[in-house]
């Protein structure tokens, strides 16, 4: 399930993957800042070569052009929210 919303330069998405696989999530960057809210799942987050194990309700903030990706570490539903916005905000 994926819900996406745009409000001018602010982009919000909510996603749920019932059977996530790491191969489905590649390292990527954004031109905007990202606030990432991890709801549930078994993942660690990779940001610029560093690994961050996440617990439910973890929050991360990434700068523009920081390479990042989730890495699935076990089974379970993967749910998260992300908000992208310009650095100026």
pTM: 0.91
Mean pLDDT of all residues in 74-82: 96
* 2 pLDDT above the threshold of 90: no
How much is the pLDDT for 22? Answer: 86
Q: Please report the DSSP string for 6-62 in residue order.
A: EETTEEEEEEEESS--GGG---B--SSEEEEEEEESSEEEEETTEEEE--TTEEEEE
* 17 pLDDT above the threshold of 90: yes
Mean pLDDT of all residues in 64-89: 95
What tens digit of pLDDT does each residue of 19-71 get?
999 899 999 999 999 999 999 999 999 999 999 999 999 999 999 999 999 99
How many angstroms separate the CA atoms of 56 and 24, rounded? Answer: 21
Q: CA geometry: angle at 21 spanning 20 and 23, to 5°?
A: 140
Closest CA to 16 of 35, 5, 3, 1: 1
How much is the pLDDT for 63? Answer: 96
How much is the pLDDT for 30? Answer: 94
């Amino acid at each position: 399930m994926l819900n996406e919303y745009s409000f001018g330069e602010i982009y919000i998405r909510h996603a749920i993957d019932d059977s996530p696989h790491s191969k489905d999530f590649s390292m990527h960057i954004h031109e905007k800042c990202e606030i990432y809210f991890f709801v549930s799942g078994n993942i660690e987050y990779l940001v610029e070569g560093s690994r961050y194990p996440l617990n439910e309700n973890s929050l991360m903030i990434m700068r523009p052009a920081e390479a990042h990706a989730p890495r699935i570490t076990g089974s379970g539903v993967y749910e998260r929210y992300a908000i992208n916005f310009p650095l100026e905000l």
